[in-house]
């Protein structure tokens, strides 16, 4: 409030507090909770002083101010600034944050923790950080996994998977969803939806996915697993309904060159992200809508559904669930449609949109 402000101006340590607050803000930004806390306590102590604190010793005698902070307070008073703060501003930490956030599966919290530990480059992470298997993959294949996949390669990768899948089980159906289905000229990953006639649960398809993953791995097509998730339907550990990983387009099997024992070296294939989603036929329409996106289009459809007393998720369109106290779910809600993509649009009362018209 206004009162606080005027008392702050009158506080003999106002300038010191201001500089320490900037430092505190900086540590908050980089998620250094320990230092943030230490600075906040020191600032609170200084706020309570009625005389100006000018030397390290004076500061150190106060509660909640350690030797290092006391040194900084003397530096602020004698130079009217803090060297560490200027250093902090100079550092292109946003750039570092950006670099770290582009590692597969890394979010703001993880990235800021690394920054707070002083890591500034991918090499720092490789050398000094304790990495999960996925983080290691994300760093080792950083450039590959941040390279978009041309549409023609998405098609070729999808075709490779389809051929292998139909060999294993002719009755399955595979479709490339995601941005590819929306007609994008390039994609971030390959999204493959797998279904089969007369299935009503993803677990009906799980043994097939296991076989497919095994075969594609053996062929050298799949090169890393990032996530093999379990059907949340059953809630138990069981066969996966979702698989995320990396793949490469295997080079054509080399034909033995005549008169040459040294074939030219093949360029290293680029690692690509690939997702598989198992969908029972009874949920295929809803899953297609979800997996075609884009995410913003999905959100607006879901919002529309809820405005109309319905609920849309990747399994189906439902009549809104009844909720008891504390919005606890009482029933799952009556399924209106799951199988037919067009029918879901109809029931929602929205005009059919071709996948290429679903950019938001």
What is the set of active-site residues? 72
**With the CA atoms of 53, 57, 61 and 66 taken in that order, what torsion angle do they form, in degrees rounded to the nearest 10?**
100
d(CA 184, CA 149): 10
CA 296 centroid distance within chain: 16
Q: Out of 245, 293, 316, 355, point to the residue binding ligand DCP (CB under 6 A).
A: 293
Residues of this chain, 187-206, that bind Mn ion according to CB under 5 A: 189, 191
Neighbour tally for 33: CB within 10 Å: 12
Residues of this chain, 186-215, that bind ligand DCP according to CB under 6 A: 187-189, 191
Q: Shortest distance, CB of residue 267 to ligand DCP, whole angstroms?
A: 24
Task: Select the binding partner of residue 294 from Mn ion, Mg ion, ligand DCP, none (C-beta < 5 to 8 A, by kind).
Answer: ligand DCP
Distances (CA, A) of 310 to 200, 281, 295, 300, 307: 22, 21, 19, 13, 7
- Residue number, 203 or 292, with CB nearest to Mg ion: 292
DSSP letters spanning 137-148: HHHHTHHHHTSP
Percentages (nearest 5) of helix, strand, coil residues in the chain? 50, 15, 35
Q: Fill in the per-residue mask, 160 to 189: x = in contact with ligand DCP (CB under 6 A), - = not in contact.
A: ------------------xx----x--xxx
Positive/negative CA dihedral, 213, 217, 223, 225: positive
333 binds ligand DCP (CB under 6 A): no
The interface region with Mn ion, picked from 182-190, 227-235, 284-292, 315-323 by CB under 5 A, is 182-190
CA atoms within 13 A on the CB side of 190: 30
Residues of this chain, 257-276, that bind Mn ion according to CB under 5 A: 275
Q: Shortest distance, CB of residue 294 to ligand DCP, whole angstroms?
A: 5
The interface region with ligand DCP, picked from 94-102, 119-127, 238-246, 286-294 by CB under 6 A, is 286-294
298 binds ligand DCP (CB under 6 A): yes
Instruction: Output Rg (C-alpha) for the chain, integer angstroms.
Output: 29
- In the complex, the residues that contact ligand DCP under the rule CB under 6 A are 178-179, 184, 187-189, 191, 290-295, 298
- In the complex, the residues that contact Mn ion under the rule CB under 5 A are 189, 191, 275
């Amino acid at each position: 409030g206004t009162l606080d402000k005027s008392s702050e101006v009158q506080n003999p340590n106002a300038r010191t507090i201001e500089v320490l607050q900037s430092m505190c803000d900086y540590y908050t930004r980089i998620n250094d909770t320990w230092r943030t806390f230490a600075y906040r306590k020191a600032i609170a102590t200084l706020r309570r002083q009625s005389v100006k604190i000018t030397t390290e010793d004076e500061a150190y005698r106060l509660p909640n101010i350690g030797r290092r902070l006391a040194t900084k307070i003397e530096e602020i008073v004698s130079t009217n600034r803090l060297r560490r703060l200027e250093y902090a501003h100079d550092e292109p930490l946003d750039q570092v944050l950006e670099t770290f956030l582009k590692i597969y599966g890394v979010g703001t919290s993880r990235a800021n923790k690394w920054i707070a530990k002083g890591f500034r480059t991918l090499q720092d992470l490789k050398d000094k950080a304790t990495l999960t298997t996925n983080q290691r993959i994300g760093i080792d294949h950083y450039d590959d996994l941040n390279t978009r996949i041309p549409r023609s390669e998405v098609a070729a990768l999808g075709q490779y998977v389809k051929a292998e899948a139909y060999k294993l089980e002719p009755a399955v159906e595979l479709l490339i969803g995601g941005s590819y289905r929306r007609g994008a000229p390039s994609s971030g990953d390959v999204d493959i939806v797998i279904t089969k006639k007369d299935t009503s649960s993803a677990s009906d398809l799980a043994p097939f996915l296991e076989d497919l993953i095994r075969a594609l791995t053996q062929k050298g097509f799949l090169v890393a697993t990032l996530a093999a998730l379990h059907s949340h339907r059953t809630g138990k550990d069981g066969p996966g309904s979702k698989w995320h990983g990396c793949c490469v387009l295997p080079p054509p099997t080399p034909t033995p060159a005549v008169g040459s024992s040294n074939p030219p070296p093949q360029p290293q294939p680029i690692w690509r992200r690939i997702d598989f989603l198992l969908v029972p036929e009874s949920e295929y329409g809803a899953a297609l809508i979800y997996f075609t996106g884009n995410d913003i289009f999905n959100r607006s459809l879901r919002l529309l559904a809820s405005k109309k007393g319905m609920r849309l998720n990747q399994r189906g369109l439902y009549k809104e669930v009844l909720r008891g106290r504390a919005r606890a779910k009482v029933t799952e809600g009556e399924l209106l449609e799951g199988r037919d993509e067009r029918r879901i649009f109809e029931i929602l009362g929205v005009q059919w949109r071709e996948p290429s018209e679903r950019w938001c």
